Structure 1
Amino acid sequence: MRLTAVFTGATAAAALLAAGATAHAADIPLRDLAAAKGKVIGTAVTGSKLTGTYGDIAGAQFNSLTPGNAMKWETVEPSRGTFNWAEADQIVAFAQAHNQQVRGHTLVWHSQNPGWLANGSWTPTELSGLLQNHITTEVTRYKGKLAAWDVVNEAFNEDGTYRSTLWYNGLGSDYIAQALTWAHAADPSAKLYINDYNVEGVNAKSTALYNLVKSLKARGVPIDGVGLQAHLILGQVPSTFQQNIQRFADLGVDVAITELDIRMQLPSTDAKLTQQAADYKTVMDACVAVTRCVGVTVWGFTDSDSWIPDVFDGYGAATPYDENYAPKPAYRAIATSLGGTSTPPTGACTATYSVVSQWNSGFTGQVRIACSGASLSSWKVGWTYGAGQQISQAWNATCTQSGATVSCSNASYNGTVADGGSVTFGFNASWSGSNPVPTVTLG
């Protein structure tokens, strides 16, 4: 079993020894594998769930987050001119704290619009003003904080004609160009996408999207990429998936797989999970093979947070983790495609030492112990101070200090660290002159 330590503000190696650990997740987090290939591996998230095991996995495994619902019109502007940014702000703050990028989703859509907008009677001028104001307000709020926006979502019918929506019916097809232009004006640094489903392979719908992007590029409209949602069915990954990604890339735009899940008819079986893993790998391999495919986002990483059972009766088990946060074969397939191991790898626990606050003669420190693919039934953390620091008080652990050597062990109530879980303890200490971060061991 491989166990590693992470130290805030210092480069150090530590041996972490854990008894009774159970291997589940990969040695190397998906986000690190993806970064090594210059790709994004993301997940859609629900802001209220970004704590505990859900938050630990979201932060450790992914380098990009997409708000599942928190940035849609009915959420952020439920009443005309009245905005609610609470959940969106929460997700952005979480991403910033975990060194992740954010993909905004979505500014213009026919669905999940508030009643005041959807049921209103608007002249084209009024509707255009409402749309411009909404886009400008939302994009400006997150200017410089988001990597990309799904500006326009699901503009086409299956046959390649424009979908009849509030926007198309009121403003014509040029609402797309207008939305992109307004979004670019509000944040010139954000990458702007058109996003749709059933456009993963070469077909009438994806060809209509292709022709639109080509036309927008020719007109000088700011368009940086296309999003292929990839809500797929078991065993039905289009044979032209990679070809389709490549043809969009050849237009000079980026491609992102934005909402990947692969649903199966329940109950799941070993055979279905094996097929699902193969399908995930096919999608991942296609993106890895095309330079301008920037990465893949799964639409929720755990079956407990998936939209599929609520929408497709009798279907589910569509994500890389099961409802209990255990990685499925699909997780292994993603890791393999990104260059990770194809065999069940060992797990890892991490110990992170950080200085939370510091003043003239004292400081508050913190150590966080987290496990992914491993578990602990008890723990003991130790380090040696190099500048005369002295601990005066500790909480959530029993700490002793002899000379420069500090030893902290779990309290009676927090010795167990489950796979995907974490515990934190803190302390106050004195310092003088300097306060270097020590090398930590956990055993």
Structure 2
Amino acid sequence: MRIYGALFFAAALICLGVSGVRADELDEPIRRIRMGTLVVETTPGAEVRVEQLRHEFWFGAALASHVFAPWGNPADAAKYKQVFLENFNAAVTENALKWHAMEPRQGQVDYSVTDAILQWTDEHEIPLRGHNIFWGISNRVQPWLKAMDDATLRKTLEARARDIGRRYKGRFAEYDLNNEMIHGNYYEERLGSDITRDMVAWVRQEDPQAVLYLNDYDILTGRRLDDYIAQIRRLLEQGVPIGGIGVQGHLHGDSFDPVVLRASLDRLAEFKLPIRVTEFNFPGQRSKHYEQRGARLSDEEEQAKAKAIVDYYRVCFAHPAVEGILMWGFWEGANWIPVSSLYRRDWSPAPAAEAYRDLVYRQWWTNWKGRADGQGRCEVPVFFGRHRVSACEKEVIVTVGRQEGGGRVSVARP
């Protein structure tokens, strides 16, 4: 069983302040939470190389629908996919799975973009979040659904849940069940408080292994944290099998408060459920640049943005309950908050891209070279994930997981 809470963060308390996060103070909990020991057994004195191939922690991003649709620009689509694979190891559908996007007119369901995304992520072994099966905010509910009587609406919701569960059985790593319920839940208003439990049951009757998350916003700012906690508690008391807690990262401004971020994560961790930061933008929706579609950050603002993103990731990576962060857009050509992008419209990297890559692919990346001792053994500290071990002109791929805490591999001379 995972152990969450303040114990792991005791060493990090003094690092947090409204002006930023001291990296050196977060390094110790990161080592304890995100690293283990890989024991390599080989020929005595042999040179050994351990190279990380992929993190266990999800460093992900949303996938834009038009990149996978026939109407998209082929050159941009190819570059988009290339840059994604260079930067991320997990994904989420930005719009493709949303019901109002799949079935804007009753009975005319378009699965093509979702299918294309799944085909591509399967090919590249990218775990994919399904965002979302339902979205009960009133203006996201199709008019033809609102025109139904209660009995017909309930049957239609059941059909949607079963259709997704059956068609994509085993394909999505997890789903957002009913998006942003603390901000509006049309289906509960119409059909009663048990509808969330019924939605889960319908999906899981078709896909028993489906992992169904809650997902909401303004949580990590602390503003709606109490409401979210109350909702989670109520659903658990109803017997709803919540698979995880999704917390969006849109509602920050041009800065964020790391104390509030950590405290919010600590309180959510008390539920002993995995947490993902599901939709991260920085600057966020409360930024002065949010409504300025053609805005450009100054050099100083670009540097501040890069530092804030690194600080945000450090706080989350150092928290034992958090299992991933997914950016809600990484390219200015496909990002609802363009100034939050890592890459500009011409694909040149912003300072934030360089800072992000340095953090994930250098500071938090295993790249070790040494020699086995006289017994043919070496112990290598590694970040949890997949690694290539080379020795004696032979290579072995090994996965070291957090649940196991370490691993062992034998690389014998051929």
Q: TM-score range by the shorter chain?
A: 0.5 to 0.7
1:262 deviation in Å? 1.3
User: CA contact under 8 A between 1:180 and 1:192: conserved in structure 2?
Assistant: yes
What's the counterpart of residue 71 of structure 1? 97
In the TM superposition, what is the alpha-carbon distance from 1:332 to its structure 2 partner?
A: 3.1
2:57 maps to: 39
Deviations 1:204-254 (Å, cap 9, x if unpaired)? Answer: x22121122223233331101111110132113453112212222221111
Q: Could you list the per-position Cα deviations for residues 119-140 of structure 1 after superposition, in whole angstroms to 9, with x for gaps in the alignment?
A: x1422x2222211111110122
Partners of 2:58 and 2:324 within 8 A in 1: yes
Show CA shifts across 1:252-295 (max 9, x none): 11111111111352331111111111221222112211222110
Question: Retained in 1: the 8 A contact 2:132–2:176?
Answer: yes
Partner deviation per Cα, 1:303-350 (whole Å, 9 max, x = no partner): 110113xxxxxxx411222212222222233334436259xxxxxxxx
Determine the C-alpha separation between the residues in 2 that align with 1:256 and 1:284: 12
Provide the TM-score with structure 2 as the length reference: 0.66
Matched, 1:117 2:136: no
SS of residue matched to 1:272? helix
CA distance in 2, matches of 1:143, 1:83: 18
CA distance in 2, matches of 1:218, 1:338: 38
d(CA) in 2 for partners of 1:291, 1:238: 16
CA distance in 2, matches of 1:47, 1:220: 35
Q: Could you tell me which residue of structure 2 aligns to residue 153 of structure 1?
A: 179
Whole-angstrom distance in 2 between the partners of 1:336 and 1:243: 27
2:165 pairs with 122, 139, 159, which one?
Answer: 139
CA distance in 2, matches of 1:330, 1:247: 29
SS in structure 2 at match of 1:294: strand
Q: Deviations over 1:175-223 (max 9, x none)?
A: 22322332333322232111111111333x2212112222323333110
Among 122, 138, 153, the residue aligned to 1:96 = 122
Aligned to 2:35: none
Match of 1:87 in 2: 113
Q: Which amino acid aligns with 1:58?
A: F
1:324 maps to 2:346: yes
Q: How many residues align?
A: 294
Tell me how far apart the structure 2 counterparts of residues 98 and 150 of structure 1 sit (CA, whole Å): 22
Percentage of pairs with the same residue? 25
Per the TM alignment, residue 105 of structure 1 is displaced from its structure 2 partner at its CA by: 0.6
1:18 equivalent in structure 2: none
SS of residue matched to 1:335:
helix
SS class of match (1:317): helix
Match of 1:212 in 2: 231
Q: Pick closer, same or farther for the CA change 1:237–1:95 going to 2, 3 Å.
A: farther
Matched, 1:179 2:179: no
The superposition leaves residues 24-59 of structure 1 with CA deviations (integer Å, 9 ceiling, x where unpaired) of: xxxxx9xx68x43x3101111124325321121123
Q: Is 2:262 aligned against 1:242?
A: yes
Q: How far apart, CA to CA, are the structure 1 residues paired with 2:227 and 2:203?
A: 22
SS in 2 for 1:149: strand
Residue 191 in structure 1 maps to residue 211 in structure 2: yes
Amino acid across the alignment from 2:349: P
Higher relative contact order (CA 8 A, sep 6+): 2
Distance in 2 of aligned mates of 1:59 and 1:122:
46
Does residue 256 of structure 1 match 2:276?
Answer: yes
In structure 2, distance between residues paired with 1:337 and 1:217: 37
| Aligned partner letter, 1:324 | D
Q: Find the residue that maps to 1:340 and give its secondary structure.
A: helix
CA contact (8 A) 1:72 1:113 kept: no
SS at match of 1:262: coil
C-alpha distance in structure 2 between counterparts of 1:190 and 1:284, whole Å: 28
Counterpart check, 1:275 vs 2:295: no
TM-score by length of 1: 0.62
Q: Secondary structure at the match of 1:323?
A: coil
**What does residue range 266-305 of structure 1 map to in structure 2 within 5 Å?**
266-305=295-334
Q: Secondary structure at 1:240's aligned position in 2?
A: helix
Q: Which structure has the larger Rg?
A: 1
- Aligned pairs (5 A) from 1:23-38: 35-36=54-55, 38=56
CA contact (8 A) 1:47 1:90 kept: no
Partner of residue 6, structure 1: none
The structural deviation recorded for 1:90 is 0.5
Cα displacement (A) at 1:64: 1.6
Q: Which residue of 2 aligns with 1:429?
A: none
SS at match of 2:277: strand
The letter for the 1-side match of 2:344 is D
Deviation at 1:73, TM superposition (A): 0.7
Amino acid at match of 1:206: L
What one-letter code is carried by the residue in structure 1 that aligns with 2:176? D
Instruction: Name stretches of at least 5 consecutive residues in structure 1 with no aligned partner.
Output: 1-28, 158-162, 309-315, 343-443
- The structural deviation recorded for 1:95 is 0.3
In the other structure, the counterpart of 1:368 is: none
Q: Answer 1 or 2: which has greater helix percent.
A: 2
Distance 1:249 1:181, change over 3 A: farther
Q: Residue 249 of structure 2 aligns with which residue?
A: 230
Q: What amino acid does structure 2 have at the position aligned with 1:42?
A: G
- Aligned-residue Cα RMSD (Å) equals 2.3
- Give the aligned residue type for 1:214: R
- SS of the residue corresponding to residue 119 of structure 2 reads helix
